Chain A
């Protein structure tokens, strides 16, 4: 018989070892899944995790992609992690990401063809505002009417997707695009572009923002009273109220930060790698960031590493679908599986597993 025994204090070792263990277990289970699809599991795993970085043929293209993909994931995940720590569940980052892109691109395109240096900063502000605004809807409904923020933030993703479709077909459509859906390509308008800053690295302003946010969040959680209050609210809500934390204020703050960061990620994406507002602009970063946040143990440094790893699975997944004709959905299932394994092994942090039955009465 297997029993669980609560540890007196969380294990520091397992706190860091569980994500690694989860990745290993996912590779094994993923390998089995790939084998069931009739692919060579070892080759598939190598194509996903090794080739994008070290294969001479692909690395030149893939390596810069690592930062391009990791940037938005990290930016969004750091924001989400603050709320998750406080027990505030914003799972609609995908919608906030879309709204950030629409607001940012909208401001840029409204100013077209103004060619000054402050257009891009203005777009960033608008993008941040768009994401923040979209996150304020569940936040205000939660604080005013006690409405469940999980459901509202998620339902708003569907609303945002419809707004995105409407924008790319209507208001923001490229007037010179010959009637095709989609906006002007922002990447080709110097005042609005978010270009690759150092050629061949994939580094753009969004990646820099992600690094800055990681550091800021780390400092806040370690040393600032707000970080302490966030942790306290998640672990012991009643103790937080005793410590003078206002739950309402915290909801508005955490939802606001995560929305603003998701909006910023959307703006950097639409002005950079993606280039335009289109119906299929969003690719699920907002949802994958939830996995990144948990895989990084809601810790900024951990999220940085987890974001890079998850970006790798995206690139490797594309590579595997190109090289081994692995279905592209397989990588989504693979990422979901990773979260399962992480949650499963997470109990090692707080519990000891004991084998053997309890001794029965003699």
Chain B
């Protein structure tokens, strides 16, 4: 399998602590990585993984504790110093510039880049060598999420790093692309490069990593060899509790509540993906799961369903009524509610209170506005009801939305939509960046509404989540939607192919 570590210590972290106002991100964290080792940093959202790697990469300075790298004291003042020492990092949210081309993006991540022409040929050479084909002249904004990740990886590899940090790298890849990435990482490891691999996906870690450090609430709770532990064991270490999967009752499906037919619409987002001839139907009581790698039209699909993006009237029908040319409030009145992926700034206004944010999308169905004037008392009750029913942890409903943690805000946003007795529910990334307990609660709430007769569309990049809650499954690929198929009996390979396979990368890897 993997080239196991040589045993020579590469990086040692001891007693590192970092606190932010109101939260201790890391508390007395210690672990070490050997040369050539693939080391997993495992933990839930908010466990402190990102802060820890930012300290290793020189973006954040620890409050206390020390680090050693290749036998010398290591305290990078800035990423440049970290790169000079031999540490490279691939970010979860890419540090790429969409309006610049691949070569320019690579050059920006290097200390002394060669002239552009020479750099372009080196990019070509390295990308072929590691099976990650890239055209140096292409604009990054036009690349798929997987290709963008390749830009980041190539940028790192050109620096010849001793330690490569990868922050949640597989969240933007299809199953096939994940396999290719793992091959590349194993190749690197066998050549002596250590990899610090951050993830909350247990099966991946068991397949790839030599050692694992598990973080919970900023503290190291365990270290283990992933291959020797079961996924369930590690999950319990990570979460600190036993989780029960959501329960669902067998359900008779009713009449079609949402019908989308031949939906084609141009993306309003710069470098976005236009929707091409999307068609599907969802019955009452049914959950349709829509998978896809980030940037394949998920945001556009949500906008087209919520009414923020208009299309031809017949392309979207709610309970048989053509609504494609209607705006969000007309669709709400017809029974459709939507929860966008981006909590702060799209689903909720960051600086507004929970009451105001409850009014934001609840005004129509909850009758919070009469004759143009706002019934603040009713809005307040609505907000308090959401906080109570969905267990939103907040000092009160007059707190600004941005003061809530990601999980609590997500519960509020999802709760706000589900509390409006909708007949159609559309949710994009219902549990993105949310801890396990809150994610379970949100999934359960969605299933309960489906059981109550609502038609549900869940758009998600988390395959496990979709397989857990969806009745039928479809995938978005470059703005096109595959024909929905029943979830039962689907294999992971079939799912991967529905998501677009490996986006033309197989050829490159056959050479190895």
Contacts and interface: CB of A to CB of B under 8 A. Distances in A.
B372 A243 contact: no
Interface string B445-468: 000000000000000000000000
Contacts of B21: 5
A361 B62 contact: yes
Contacts of B7: none
B327 A246 contact: yes
A242 B66 contact: no
A176 interface: no
A231 B352 CA distance: 9
Nearest to A237: B345
Given A9-B403, A359-B64, A362-B64, A236 B349 contact: yes
A358 interface: yes
Interface string B362-387: 01100001001110100000000000
A225 B332 CA distance: 17
Contacts of A226: 372
B314 to A, nearest CB: 21
Interface string B56-88: 000001111111000000010000000000000
Q: Which of A226, A231, A361 has the most CB of B within 10 A?
A: A361
Contact of A244 (B67, B327, B376): B327
**Most B CB within 10 A of own CB, among A8, A223, A240:** A8
Nearest to B61: A358
A46 interface: no
B481 interface: no
Contacts of A362: 64-66
Interface string B1-36: 000000000000000000001100000000000000
Interface in A334-362: 358-362
Contacts of B329: 243-244
Contacts, number: 91
Contacts of B348: 236, 239
Contacts of A180: none
- Counting chain B CB atoms within 10 Å of each CB, the highest count among A8, A232, A242, A359 belongs to A242
B374 A225 contact: yes
Interface in A217-272: 223-226, 228, 231-232, 235-236, 238-244, 246
Nearest to B351: A235
B306 interface: yes
Size bracket of the A interface: 20 to 34
A193 to B, nearest CB: 37
A284 interface: no
A2 to B, nearest CB: 16
B75 A361 contact: yes
A301 to B, nearest CB: 19
Contact of A232 (B308, B352, B374): B352
A228 B75 contact: no
B328 A235 contact: no
B306 A242 contact: yes
B327 A239 contact: no
A244 B346 contact: no
Interface stretch (B93-101, B128-136, B236-244, B353-361): B353-361
B349 A232 contact: yes
A9 B400 contact: yes
B124 interface: no
A96 to B, nearest CB: 26
B78 to A, nearest CB: 14
Contact of A238 (B62, B338, B346, B369): B346
A361 B65 contact: yes
A225 B66 contact: no
B335 interface: no
A238 B329 CA distance: 15
B340 A242 contact: yes
A10 interface: yes
A250 to B, nearest CB: 13
Nearest to B369: A225
Given A239-B348, A242-B347, A246-B327, A8 B400 contact: yes
Interface of B: 21-22, 61-67, 75, 306-308, 327-329, 332, 338, 340, 342, 345-352, 356, 359-361, 363-364, 369, 372-374, 376, 399-400, 402-403
Of all A-B residue pairs in the complex, the 4 with the closest CB atoms, nearest first, are: A244-B329, A8-B403, A236-B349, A9-B400
